[in-house]
């Protein structure tokens, strides 16, 4: 019983990371009706930037803030110079662009930083696990950080004028322009936020899985499954789906399929959701926009 | 009277298919101008052209300045509010959020609050439904929401695209009564396009008759409403 509880608690910790990436996917989907397959690789690349800064002697939390800022800018520039020019291109062209970005980031990271696994520091200390050995300090700390990010993002969209304008631009670009919202700028901002969230998720997951250019491949798959499970049109669904995925992954790995086949649970969930309930737990039924 | 909007030799097309074939018309400062015409005449396209939603040739001057080629959001920010064809409701957002979006370009918080209160006086139904998802409103309520949202821009020029479309006569009457009140008290100009000519002529000062992308006739609303043969052949009432 204690074993199960352990798995659930640590599942919630990794689930938070899936939730952040899933939220980034949903944000981009709402604004563009496309899945950003490069989301994970952008996060991985950002994490390397953080490692470089830390190795150069920059204190962890300053490196953290710098990395988020750099990633935010990178996301905005990507939207402005790569995706915006493709906004009227056929769907296959933009899927191609996403996959191209994925490969480019992966290869550049491998070329600059090499393919070996690199340890990544945690700011939360090595110390004893907390709550009677149930959860490591890093898991605890990363859960708190992730939660803070999710609450901040929610509050931003719910309570600020720019957040409202971003939602409006995502739902109804034509009407948005007619009330004076610069839609392209809102989209760039959305990309910046998504890249920033991804960077934080990358920095939180790297101490657990070690940093290498393929670090986010598995995470992206879980996050994608989480976004579908929660409903690809629902930010709340992404968060709930992410936490559920973390817990399901851990329980399945420990008791059902074994750690070797854990990743297949994500694939199974993707297929089951697409076949039986494409709108997910919280999403709206999709018209043929995809 | 000074002209708020001057449109000269306006041509417009969707891709290869030409829709507007050289329109000339003006909107006077402070008045209501109506553009009448049958379904497919190019009324919606004309409003879209003014708002920079399609590529055009010719000249569009707003308060004397050319606005052609500007981005839609920048044209809006100059003070041109457009209640579009289909009402443009932000379906997923609440009524209150829809209204707040109307004042997106403004920073004068106190004045926005005054305008918002005024909209609730004019449209008490919206006040009752503030927290409701806008997509759940009836057609008439969505039209009221669209007008209120546009008014919250505090516009110099209000473009209205068939405010009567698809609504029951009673609701249409209510909406046009309110528009009449807005016209009387607000210092702004209105360009309203309508298929329902008698309705539009009832609030307009000046009218233009549009047929397949060309202006066929213009005059004061009173003269056009009086012209028996015109009414029968073009306006259908
Ligand atoms: N988005 C569009 N793409 C192509 N043709 C269009 C589009 N919208 C309208 N049209 C065509 O342009 C002409 C004028 O349409 P519109 O301006 O909507 O007329 P009205 O508003 O007077 O009914 C019609 O022949 C219509 O079929
Ligand atoms: Mg029309």
pLDDT, one tens digit for every residue, chain A (290 residues): 678 888 888 889 889 999 999 999 998 988 888 889 899 999 999 999 999 999 999 999 999 999 999 999 999 999 998 888 887 778 788 788 888 899 999 999 999 999 999 999 999 987 777 777 778 889 889 999 999 999 999 999 999 999 999 999 999 999 999 999 999 999 999 999 999 999 999 999 999 989 999 999 989 999 999 999 999 988 899 999 999 999 999 888 888 877 777 788 888 888 888 888 888 888 876 544 33
- Tell me: the pLDDT tens digits for A182-239? 999 999 999 999 999 999 999 999 999 899 999 999 899 999 999 999 999 888 999 9
Task: Name the closest-CA residue to atom 3, ligand 1.
Answer: B14
Q: Give the B-side interface with A, CB within 8 Å.
A: 51, 53, 71-73, 76-77, 81-82, 84, 88-93, 97, 100-102, 104-105, 149, 153
Domain of B185, CATH number, reads 3.40.50.300
Within 10 Å of residue A222's Cβ, how many Cβ atoms?
Answer: 29
Do A123 and A64 meet the contact criterion of CB atoms below 8 Å apart? Answer: yes
The closest alpha carbon to A197, from A283, A75, A30, belongs to A75
pTM, to two decimals: 0.90
Q: Does A176 touch chain B (CB under 8 A)?
A: yes
Q: What are phi and psi of B151, to 5 degrees?
A: -65, -30
Q: Which residues is B189 bridged to in the sheet?
A: B157
> For residue A133, what are the CA distances in angstroms to A2, B15, B224?
11, 67, 86
Q: Measure in Å the smallest separation between the Cα of A123 and chain B Cα atoms.
A: 40
Buried b (16+ CB within 10 A) or exposed e, A18-38: bbbbbbbbbbbbbbbebbbbb
Yes or no, beta carbons of A180 and B73 under 8 Å apart = yes
Residue B59: domain span: 3-235
The CA dihedral of A225, A226, A227, A228, to the nearest 10 degrees, is: 50
Rg (CA), chain B: 17
Q: Hey, what are B74's tokens?
A: 């920048």
Which residues 193-252 of A have a C-beta within 8 angstroms of B? none
Parallel, antiparallel or unpaired: strands B157-161 and B189-194: parallel
Residue pair A218/A29 in contact (Cβ under 8 Å)? The answer is: no
Q: Do the Cβ atoms of A177 and B73 come within 8 Å? A: yes
The tokens 């709930």 sit on which residue? A240
Domains of chain A: 2-276 (1.10.3470)
Q: Are A149 and A203 in contact (CB under 8 A)?
A: no
| Number of domains making up chain B | 1
Rounded to the nearest angstrom, the distance between the alpha carbon of B13 and the centre of ligand 1 is 9
Q: How deeply is B155 buried, as exposed, middle or buried, from its count of CB atoms within 10 A (0-12, 13-18, 19+)?
A: buried
Element (H, E) at B174: helix B169-185
What's the token pair of residue B93? 């957002």
- For residues B78 and B81, what is the distance between their CA atoms, to the nearest angstrom? 9
Asked if A177 has any chain B CB less than 8 Å from its own CB, the reply is yes
Report chain B's terminal Cα–Cα distance, integer Å.
31
Q: Which residue of A has its CA nearest to B90?
A: A172
Write out the two tokens for A289: 């926009």
**Distance (Å) from CA A42 to ligand 1 centroid:** 43
């Amino acid at each position: 019983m204690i074993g199960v509880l352990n798995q659930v608690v640590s599942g919630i910790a990794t689930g938070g990371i899936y939730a952040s990436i899933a939220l980034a996917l949903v944000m981009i989907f709402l604004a563009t009706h496309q899945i950003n397959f490069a989301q994970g690789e952008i996060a991985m690349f950002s994490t390397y930037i953080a490692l470089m800064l830390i190795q150069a002697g920059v204190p962890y939390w300053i490196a953290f803030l710098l990395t988020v800022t750099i990633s935010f800018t990178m996301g905005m520039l990507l939207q402005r110079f790569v995706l915006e020019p493709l906004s009227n291109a056929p769907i296959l062209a933009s899927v191609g662009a996403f996959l191209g970005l994925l490969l480019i980031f992966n290869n550049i990271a491998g070329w600059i930083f090499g393919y070996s696994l690199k340890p990544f520091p945690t700011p939360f200390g090595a110390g004893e696990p907390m709550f009677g050995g149930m959860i490591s300090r890093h898991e605890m700390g990363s859960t708190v950080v992730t939660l803070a990010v999710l609450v901040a993002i929610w509050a931003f969209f719910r309570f600020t004028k720019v957040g409202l304008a971003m939602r409006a631009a995502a739902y109804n670009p034509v009407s948005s322009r007619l009330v004076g919202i610069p839609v392209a700028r809102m989209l760039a901002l959305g990309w910046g936020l998504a890249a920033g969230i991804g960077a934080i998720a990358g920095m939180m997951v790297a101490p657990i899985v070690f940093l290498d250019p393929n670090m986010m491949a598995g995470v992206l798959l879980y996050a994608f499954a989480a976004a579908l499970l929660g409903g690809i049109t629902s930010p709340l669904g992404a968060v709930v789906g992410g936490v559920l995925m973390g817990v399901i992954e851990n329980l399945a790995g420990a008791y059902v399929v074994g750690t070797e086949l854990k990743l297949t649970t994500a694939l199974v969930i993707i297929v089951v959701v697409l076949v039986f309930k494409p709108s997910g737990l919280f999403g709206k039924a999709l018209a043929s926009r995809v | 009277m000074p002209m708020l909007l001057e449109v000269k030799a306006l041509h417009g097309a969707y891709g290869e298919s030409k829709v507007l074939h050289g329109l000339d018309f003006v909107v006077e400062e402070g008045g209501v101008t109506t553009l009448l015409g049958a379904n497919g005449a190019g009324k919606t396209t004309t409003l879209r052209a003014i708002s920079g939603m399609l590529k055009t040739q010719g000249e569009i001057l707003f308060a004397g300045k050319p606005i052609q080629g500007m981005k839609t959001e920048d044209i809006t920010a100059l003070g041109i509010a457009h209640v579009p064809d289909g009402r443009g409701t932000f379906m997923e957002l609440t009524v209150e959020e829809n209204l707040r979006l109307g004042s997106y370009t403004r920073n004068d918080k106190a004045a926005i609050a005054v305008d918002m209160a005024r909209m609730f006086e004019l449209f008490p139904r919206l006040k009752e439904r503030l927290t409701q998802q806008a997509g759940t409103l009836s057609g008439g309520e969505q039209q009221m929401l669209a007008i209120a949202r546009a008014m919250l821009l505090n516009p110099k020029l209000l473009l209205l695209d068939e405010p009567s479309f698809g609504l029951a006569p009673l609701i249409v009457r209510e909406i046009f009564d309110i528009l009449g009140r807005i016209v009387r008290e607000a210092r702004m100009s209105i360009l309203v396009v309508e298929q329902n000519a008698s309705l539009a002529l009832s609030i307009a000062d000046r009218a233009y008759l549009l047929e397949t992308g060309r202006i066929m006739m213009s005059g004061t609303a009173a003269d056009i409403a009086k012209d028996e043969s015109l009414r029968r052949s073009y306006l259908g009432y």
